Amino acid sequence: MTHRHFIIHKPYGYLSQFVSDPKKQKKKRVLTELYDFPDGTMAIGRLDEDSEGLLLLTTDGKVSEYVRSSKIEKEYYAQVDGVIIDEAIAKLQQGVEVSIEGVHYVTKPCVASILKQDPGFPERSRRVRDDRHGPTSWVSITLTEGKYRQVRKMTAAVGFPTLRLVRVRIGAILLNGLPTGAVKEVDTFPLTS
């Protein structure tokens, strides 16, 4: 059996799934609105509805398991409320205590740094906010784990809640200007450089 692999730029407001739950009051936007994916396609890891950026899809469960493992780094750019300070970055790097589904957890050490300039992402469908509400800043966070809403919980734990979250890298695969909503089919995932 030949497996198929896809790289997409998941837009804000979409679920990382293929079928909307008809029991929900509002119909949620799903990935099948972006492309006609083959049967058996699965998202590798997830980005929640409010998050954007790089998402890998595959029909190969073994590839999915490998990418979700702690062997593959995932890098995120988070726009945070306020001007983030070095002390907060140091705490993120060391690991912070968060609550994941009611269980207290200390995140693993990670790579975190302040982005000196706005990464220049296009405006999303729902604006983050305007300057009247105070300054914002951007931080890069690279993880080898992926707990539920982890980056958001981490930045909140150090006093700088996430306003916008964009995954920009998985292993050696970069978002690199892929337009929002674009889908690119690839032969393999180049996960290591």
**Domains delineated in the chain:** 5-69+173-186 (3.30.70.580), 74-170 (3.30.70.1560)
Catalytic residue from among 39, 48, 86, 187? 48
- Clarify whether 48 is annotated catalytic: yes
pLDDT digits (tens, 9 = 90+) for 87-114: 999 999 999 999 988 889 999 999 999 9
Higher pLDDT, 136 or 146: 136
Nearest to 100 by CA among 148, 157, 161, 49: 148
pLDDT digits (tens, 9 = 90+) for 35-79: 999 999 999 988 999 999 999 999 999 988 888 888 899 999 999
Look at residue 70 in the predicted model and tell me its pLDDT. 85
Higher pLDDT, 48 or 124: 48
Look at residue 193 in the predicted model and tell me its pLDDT. 55
Helix pair angle (86-94, 150-157), 10° resolution: 130
The answer to whether residues 185 and 3 touch, using CB atoms and an 8 Å cutoff, is no
Look at residue 72 in the predicted model and tell me its pLDDT. 92
What average pLDDT does the chain have? 91
